[in-house]
C-alpha cells in the first residue's frame, strides 16, 4: 500500500504534537507559586530567551550561506538545501517551545512540592515531556512529509545537515555558557563574598540557572533531535540500498518512530499525582509500559507490512 508507512509516521507525529500542547496547558494551569518564586522564574526566563535569541541570530546568516552553497552544488538542485532549512528550523522551534515550558514549570514544580512528592513529580515530568514529545514528533512530521513530496533518500539527507548545525551551536554554546556561569557564581559568590551556593542574592546563580536551561533543555533537545533524525536517515539509506528506492520499506523506520511516540504517551500516563515512594520506581515502570506497548504495536505493524 503506497504511503502506508509515511501515514503511520504522520499519525504518530500529529498525536505527539497534540499531546505536547495538552501537556503545556496542563503545566501552565498549576499555580506559579509565591511572588518571589515567580520573580526568580521570570529572571531565568528572560535570560534564557535572550540567549536563544542571540544563538538564533548567530546561526541564521551561517545557515543561509550553507543553504546557498548546498543548493548550488548538491544534486538534486535545491531539494537538499530545502531539507537543510526545514530540518534546522524545526530543531529551533522544538528548542524554543521546550525551554519556554521548562522555565515556567520550574516554579510550578516547587509550588506543587508543598502538596507532596506525587504532585511535584507530575508537574516536573509533564514539563519535561513537552520536549520529549516535540523532538520525535517534529522530526517525524518533517521527514515523512518531505519524503512523500520528494521520494528520494538523497533528497532528505539535508534534514540531518540542518539538525546537526543547530545542535552544534546550541548544545556546545549552551554547555560553555552554563559552565562559565557556574564557575563564575562559585568563585565570586562562595569564595569572594561568602554567599551560600545557589543563593538568589548572587546574580551569577541566575546566570547559572539560565545556563542549565539553555544547555540541558534546549541544547539537549537539539542534540537528541539531531540524533533522532540522523538515525532514521541512516536506516532509510540502508533500506534504499537493500530494496528499491521507492519501496514502502524505506520509510519503515519512520512508521516505527510514529508507533514509538504513541507507546511513549501511554507509558507517560503512569506518572500521576498518586505516585508515592521512590520517584525512579514510577519512572522505570512508565518506561517498561512504553517498551511493552511499543513491542506489541511494532510486531503487529511489521507482520502486517511484511
What pLDDT score was predicted for residue 259?
Answer: 95
What pLDDT score was predicted for residue 47?
Answer: 85
What pLDDT score was predicted for residue 3?
Answer: 64
What pLDDT score was predicted for residue 226?
Answer: 85
What pLDDT score was predicted for residue 76?
Answer: 61
What pLDDT score was predicted for residue 169?
Answer: 82
The set of cell numbers assigned to 206 is: 541566575
What pLDDT score was predicted for residue 77?
Answer: 61
Q: Where are the domains of the chain?
A: 20-248
User: pLDDT tens digits for 225-245?
Assistant: 888 888 998 898 888 888 876
The long-range contacts involving 176-180, CB below 8 angstroms and separated by at least 24 positions, are: 177/51, 177/210, 177/211, 177/214, 177/215, 178/208, 178/210, 178/211, 178/212, 178/214, 178/215, 178/216, 179/211, 180/211
In the predicted model, residues of the chain with pLDDT beneath 70 are: 1-3, 75-77, 192, 197, 245-246
Calpha distance 239→232 (Å, rounded):
11
What pLDDT score was predicted for residue 18?
Answer: 95
What pLDDT score was predicted for residue 14?
Answer: 95
What pLDDT score was predicted for residue 118?
Answer: 83
Amino acid at each position: 500500500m503506497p504511503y502506508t508507512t509515511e501515514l503511520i509516521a504522520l499519525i504518530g507525529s500529529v498525536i505527539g504534537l497534540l499531546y505536547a500542547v495538552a501537556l503545556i496547558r496542563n503545566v501552565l494551569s498549576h499555580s506559579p507559586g509565591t511572588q518571589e518564586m515567580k520573580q526568580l522564574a521570570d529572571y531565568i526566563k528572560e535570560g534564557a530567551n535572550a540567549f536563544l535569541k542571540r544563538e538564533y541570530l548567530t546561526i541564521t546568516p551561517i545557515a543561509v550561506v550553507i543553504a546557498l552553497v548546498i543548493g548550488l552544488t548538491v544534486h538534486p538542485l535545491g531539494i537538499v538545501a530545502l531539507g537543510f532549512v526545514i530540518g534546522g528550523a524545526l530543531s529551533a522551534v522544538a528548542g524554543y517551545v521546550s525551554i519556554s515550558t521548562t522555565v515556567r514549570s520550574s516554579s510550578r514544580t516547587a509550588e506543587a512540592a508543598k502538596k507532596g512528592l506525587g504532585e511535584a513529580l507530575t508537574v516536573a515530568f509533564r514539563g519535561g515531556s513537552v520536549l520529549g514529545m516535540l523532538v520525535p514528533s517534529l522530526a517525524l512530521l518533517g521527514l515523512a512529509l518531505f519524503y512523500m513530496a520528494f521520494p528520494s533518500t538523497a533528497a532528505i539527507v539535508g534534514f540531518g545537515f540542518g539538525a546537526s548545525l543547530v545542535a552544534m551551536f546550541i548544545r556546545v554554546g549552551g554547555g560553555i555558557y552554563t559552565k562559565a556561569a557556574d564557575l563564575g557564581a562559585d568563585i565570586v559568590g562562595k569564595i569572594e563574598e561568602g554567599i551560600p551556593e545557589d543563593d538568589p542574592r548572587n546574580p551569577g546563580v541566575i546566570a547559572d540557572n539560565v545556563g542549565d536551561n539553555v544547555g540541558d533543555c534546549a541544547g539537549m533537545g537539539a542534540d537528541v533531535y539531531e540524533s533522532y533524525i540522523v538515525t532514521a536517515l541512516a536506516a532509510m539509506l540502508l533500506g534504499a540500498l537493500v530494496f528499491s528506492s521507492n519501496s514502502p520499506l524505506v520509510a519503515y523506520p519512520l512508521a516505527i518512530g510514529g508507533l514509538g511516540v504513541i507507546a511513549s504517551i501511554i507509558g507517560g500516563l503512569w506518572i500521576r499525582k498518586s505516585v508515592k515512594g521512590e520517584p525512579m520506581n514510577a519512572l522505570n515502570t512508565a518506561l517498561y509500559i512504553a517498551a511493552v506497548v511499543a513491542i506489541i504495536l511494532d510486531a503487529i505493524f511489521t507482520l502486517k507490512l511484511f
